[in-house]
Structure formats: structure tokens, C-alpha cells
Chains A and B, each alone.
Chain A
Amino acid sequence: SYVLTQPPSLTVAPGQTARVPCGGHDIGRKSVQWYQQKPGQAPVAVMYDDSDRPSGIPDRFSGSNSGNTATLTITRVEVGDEADYYCQVWERSSDNHFFGPGTKVTVL
């Protein structure tokens, strides 16, 4: 089992920068994915392999991963970015995937 930690919530003003952390032991050695989920909707991938942005995701979204923390950064935050954000990794030894508990990003 691999444990990921995320803060339950984060509030950011429109136009500012949101940094969503995801903690895990030596997570820098793993590939981290990020998902955005809005109420009543299925998750949508916003970052692959630490810092690779899927097609259609604005370049305001970026990712980094080092040491024990991966970070999803959203610059020039918009009201439409308000959502739950989940990090996810794959563990080779078990061939299992693990999600973080999620961070609710509120734009106020």
C-alpha cells in the first residue's frame, strides 16, 4: 500500500496562483497524475506523468514532482477551476493504483 496525503481544502482568489500539494514517501521517484472533478461529473485528467498536460487543458495548469511532494500549480485561477483535485500514482510492486484523498479548491 502507498499512502498519499493532500490538504482537504485550499482557497484562492481569482487571478492568483493555487498550489495543490500531494505528499508521499519518495514520491519524486514515481510518476504522478492529477485529476479535476467538478460536482456531479466524472474526473478529468489535468496532468500526466508529473508535468505533461493533456490536450485541451489550459497552460495555466502545470505540475512538478520532487522528493516527497508533487505539486499541481494553477496560475491565473478562474472561477471555473473550482473543483476537487486528486493526485494518483501506480505502485510497481503491487500493480495497484492509489489516489490521494483530494483537495477542494475554492475560488473566492
Chain B
Amino acid sequence: EVQLVESGGGVVQPGGSLTLSCAASGFSFDDYTLHWVRQVPGGGLEWVALVSWDGIFAYYLESVKGRFTISRDNHKNSLYLQMKSLRTDDTALFYCARGRSTSSSGAFDVWGQGTMVIVSS
């Protein structure tokens, strides 16, 4: 079964750091671009970042540039999101999502169930 399972969410103070992980299974991990997408409770979806199949290229939502770093370990079939200088408006459910191919473009065809990040003092 194709599956993505996120972990690492929690409560952190403003200005703090947190690293999210996403464990993949059931497919050839390095055949796909991977993404992080977030959703404020009761709100809409917001794309956060993507990393190319080989981990060489990464692109970010403007508001997280310089604060978030997306990476992957193809040997461990895992995706990561290092977040620093967290702000209250980063509070959201963070989803790991698979792109349909090695391309940056296109749809997200597999989603995890999400991990919640709460930034609060």
C-alpha cells in the first residue's frame, strides 16, 4: 500500500524550531518529487515547499524562505521539513504529499494524514 506518514508536530514557542518527518512506503521513493502542504484549522490549503527527486532542487513559499528547509533521504525513504524562527501564523496541520512524477509541476496524488504544528507562547 502506498503510504505517507508524518510525524514531529507539536507545540513550540514563537521563535522556536521544529523538524517534521514523513516516512514513505509502498512505492519507489526516488521516482517522485515531494511536497509539504499546510492547512490552518478550518482554513484552506497552502503549498509550502517541494524537493526534487534527487534532493538537489528545493523551492519554497515566499513567507517561509530562509526559515524552512525541505530535504529528503532516499536511502531511508524519508522527507523532512526543518522549521526555525517559527511564528504564530505558522500554526497549521502539515501534510506530506507526493507529486505525480519527478517534475515540479502537476498534481499531488498521495497525501499523508498530517502532523499538527502549534506555535504559541
Contact = CB atoms under 8 A, between A and B. Distances in A.
Interface of A: 1, 31, 33, 35, 37, 42-45, 48-49, 54, 86, 88, 90, 92, 94-102
24 contacts: A31-B106, A33-B106, A35-B108, A42-B95, A43-B45, A43-B95, A43-B108, A45-B109, A48-B107, A49-B106, A54-B109, A86-B45, A88-B45, A88-B107, A90-B106, A94-B59, A95-B50, A96-B47, A96-B60, A96-B62, A97-B35, A99-B46, A100-B44, A102-B44
Contacts of B50: 95, 97
B47 A98 contact: yes
Given A90-B105, A90-B106, A96 B59 contact: yes
A91 B45 CA distance: 16
A100 B44 CA distance: 8
B113 interface: yes
Interface of B: 35, 37, 44-47, 50, 59-62, 95, 100, 104-109, 111-114
B98 to A, nearest CB: 10
Given A42-B114, A45-B109, A95-B59, A90 B104 contact: yes
Given A42-B114, A94-B59, A97-B50, A49 B107 contact: yes
Nearest to A33: B107
Contacts of A100: 44
A54 B22 CA distance: 24
A33 B111 CA distance: 14
Contacts of A94: 59
3 closest residue pairs by CB, A with B: A33-B107, A97-B47, A42-B111
Given A35-B108, A54-B109, A86-B44, 4 more contacts: A48-B106, A49-B106, A88-B47, A99-B37
B104 to A, nearest CB: 5
B1 to A, nearest CB: 14
Given A31-B105, A33-B107, A44-B111, A1 B47 contact: no
Contacts of A99: 37, 44-47
